[in-house]
Amino acid sequence: MSRLGALALIVWIALGARLLLEATTPERESLPPAVPLAEFPADVFGPGWTSEDLDISAKALQIAGVSDHVYRRHSAGARSLDLWVGYVTGGASGVHYPGICFPYQGMKLENSDTVTVPGTGLAPDPVFYETHWTVGSRHVYCLYSFYYLGHFAPEVAKLRLADLTERPRYHAIVVLSGDFEGSLESTREIYFGALGKILPPLVEHFPPDGDAPPDESPATPTDTPD
């Protein structure tokens, strides 16, 4: 059996067990953000950058199932980076992420990989999906991951499994996207650096919820020497 098939089987077994226990399991409480996402600093990138909140339709928000969000474009000269953070309370039955959204915008997935983002000051280092999309002649670079139970993990199957077994009271999706800039290495440098500025203040908006996975502590800013 393939690794994907084995993981799918585990999810179905967990689902069956979850349904058997449903009648005696207390209703999951919603857990709002520790700080509303509207208060996430617009000047997070510092001098030389401008920001604007982007519009999103009520229908799109309903499909995404978010209870709070921030959708913002950060620009410096010709460079623009779009940040989407969606905060979802309760279960993960309606998980929404670029792999679902982008194809509906006419975008084609060219490549994907799993990357660890260094230099954020968080422990453990965040793990994100790195994806390369094309739409016409435009090449789009996108990093995204889910945050739940105190850590970043980009795999949808792991989030669904955790939803069945550990029952997090919320999850958040963090997406940073924009144009490719030169080589993959130079593009990574730009976007990893951007996440280094975004993630430390962003996790302050996410309240503690349950335990971190084994051998991991919640993703929190680490102390740095003066």
pTM, whole model, 2 decimals? 0.84
133-143 pLDDT, tens digit each: 999 999 999 99
Q: Report d(CA 52, CA 73) in Å as an integer.
A: 5
* 158-191 confidence digits (pLDDT tens): 999 999 999 999 999 999 999 999 999 999 999 9
Nearest to 152 by CA among 220, 98, 99, 68: 220
Tokens (6 digits) for 138? 């435009």
- CA gap 157, 92 in Å, rounded: 10
**CA–CA dist 33, 211 (Å, integer):** 17
DSSP assignment letter at 35: S
Any idea which of 59-63, 124-128, 161-165, 218-222 has the lowest mean pLDDT? Answer: 218-222
